[in-house]
Amino acid sequence: MKNWQTRWDETINYLKAKFPGANLGEHIESLLPVKLRQEISKELSIGKNPGKDGEDDPGVKSTKEQRHALRGLLLCQRVYYSKIWAKKTFNPGNIVADEWMLPSGWKNTSQKFWGGKAEKDILEGIGMFVIDPTATLDDLVKVAKKGKPDGIGVLPGNFTLSRADKNTRGAAETCYNGVVGWLLQSGIVSMRWVMLDTSPNGSHSCAQLFGTGKAVWDGNTPFIVGTSVLPTVKAGHILHMWIDESGAAGWNGHWVVSNGDGTICGVNNGEIKPGLEEDGVALGPEVKKAYTNNGLLMGQWLGYGGKLWKSNENGRPVRDPNVYAHANLVQFNPLKFANRI
């Protein structure tokens, strides 16, 4: 039977060997003091022929490489899904350790899915914890244009994610979750980045994950519909729009991916009817709330920019004829995220 140190060293060395240059094994060791390494190493004990029930299974004939891979994946999940690494915004500006992402039966949950799988398959699971160094902005656009996230489960603390997944995984009920799902699927970010804030909310969270970004339109400049022109935004850049009048509660606004030609990909959009115009400015083509891969940026932007939207006496949204909204549009190059990992 392996002692804790042997098991630990073999697992860390496996991660270093299989993901050279990714700073994975090295990063895990940097996070854990020796006493915690010893405790976690015991949790990585999986027996000689680990089956889906967490116990030796005579029907499973595993190889040494498979066992190394399974321990490596379990270690990544144990560290990055726990309060050792995971953070969450408890309320805007207050980021705390997330101690709720790693349930008590986490190991069994993971092993029920990964137990008995081939080493190459398990490596695809470990791959979710490192970025793809070859990923480009065009890759992000291709992923976003393919479709919205599958809506099955969420990304934080997900034990079944794999770089072999053909479609984007995770929740699709908010525009932000759609963007994060596409970023992860493209390989531009990893689950280590996602777990930096499992429930981001507000400008402080944004700065931690994305950096400060670059203004496309500054809120202090009125956007005059029919006269003002939005600058071109590069394909693959992330766009965030909001109005100052919404205050902290409305700062999250709307998040989309630029296609580089004046169109965007997004989920939970402002709906646009076919042929809709405002002051001679086309807002179409049709955009459905659930998902678009060719909606006009202008159509989404004018839900924020222009004269300030307000409710009339019947509760319907109308423009205030006398007041311009302080509408902001900021772009982020995801290849230059402040804490991309």
Do 82 and 40 lie in a common domain? yes
Same domain membership, residue 115 and residue 142: no
Residue-wise pLDDT tens digits, 104-155: 999 999 999 999 999 999 999 999 999 999 999 999 999 999 999 999 999 9
20 and 158, same structural domain?
A: no
**Residues 121 and 145 reside in one and the same domain:** no
Boundary of a domain, candidates 71, 101, 129: 129
Confidence of residue 249 (pLDDT cuts 50, 70, 90): confident
Judge whether residue 23 has pLDDT over 70: yes
Cα distances (Å, whole numbers) of residue 285 to 266, 292, 323: 14, 10, 28
Q: pLDDT, tens digit, for every residue of 67-106?
A: 999 999 999 999 999 999 999 998 888 999 999 999 999 9
* Residues 162 and 282 occupy one common structural domain: yes
Same domain? For 121 and 168 the reply is: no
Please give the pLDDT value at position 338: 82
Q: What span, in angstroms and rounded, lies between the C-alpha atoms of 106 and 167?
A: 24
Q: What does the pLDDT read at residue 50?
A: 63
Q: Which H or E element spans position 102?
A: none
Give the Cα separation of 334 and 341 in Å (integer).
11
pLDDT of residue 61: 61
Question: Per the confidence metrics, is the pTM higher than 0.85?
Answer: yes
CA 78 to chain centre: 19
Each residue's pLDDT tens digit, 264-280: 999 999 999 999 999 99
Q: End of a domain among 72, 100, 129?
A: 129
Q: Is 249 exposed, middle or buried (0-12, 13-18, 19+ CB in 10 A)?
A: exposed
- Residue 319, classed as helix, strand or coil, is strand
Task: Answer whether residue 313 shows pLDDT above 60.
Answer: yes
With bands split at pLDDT 50, 70 and 90, how would you rate the model's confidence at 44?
Answer: very high
The per-residue pLDDT for 2 is 84
> What is the tally of structural domains in the chain?
2
Q: Tokens in use for 58?
A: 């005579």
What is the spatial distance between Cα 66 and Cα 239, in angstroms, rounded to a whole number?
42
**Does 281 lie in the same domain as 214?**
yes
Q: 5 and 82 in one domain?
A: yes
Q: Across residues 252-269, what is the average pLDDT?
A: 98
Spatial CA neighbour of 174 closest among 98, 253, 246: 253
Query: In the prediction, which pLDDT does 178 show?
Result: 98
288 is in which domain, residue-wise? 137-341
Percent of the chain with pLDDT over 70: 96
Residues 6+ apart with CB under 8 A from 253: 240, 241, 242, 243, 246, 304
Chain-centroid distance, C-alpha 225: 33
Q: Where does the pLDDT of residue 158 fall: very low under 50, low under 70, confident under 90, or very high at 90 and above?
A: very high
Reference 262, options 280, 238, 235, 289; nearest CA is 235
Q: What is the mean pLDDT of residues 252-259?
A: 97
Q: Which residues of 198-218 are buried (b: 16+ CB within 10 A; e: fewer)?
A: bebbbeebbebbbbebeebbe
Flag whether pLDDT at 219 surpasses 70: yes
Is residue 178 within 8 A of residue 149, CB to CB? The reply is yes
- For residue 4, what pLDDT is reported? 96
Q: Is the pLDDT higher at 308 or at 51? A: 308
Plot region of 205 (φ>0 → left; ψ -120 to 50 → alpha; else → beta)? alpha
What is the average pLDDT across 197-211? 93
Mean pLDDT of 276-302: 96
Burial 286-322 (b: 16+ CB within 10 A, else e): ebeeebbbebbbbbbbbbbbbbbbeeeeeeeeebeee
Given 76, 103, 129, which residue is the final one in a domain?
Answer: 129
Q: Are residues 214 and 245 located together in one domain of the fold? A: yes
Quick one: 62 and 149 in the same domain?
no
pLDDT at residue 319 is higher than 90: yes
pLDDT for residue 100? 94
Do 79 and 29 fall into the same domain? yes
Q: Tell me how long the chain is.
A: 341
What burial class does residue 42 get, using C-beta atoms within 10 Å of its C-beta: 0-12 exposed, 13-18 middle, 19+ buried?
exposed
Q: CA 340, CA 318: separation in Å to the nearest integer?
A: 41
User: Are 229 and 266 in the same domain?
Assistant: yes
For residue 52, name the pLDDT band (cuts at 50, 70, 90): low
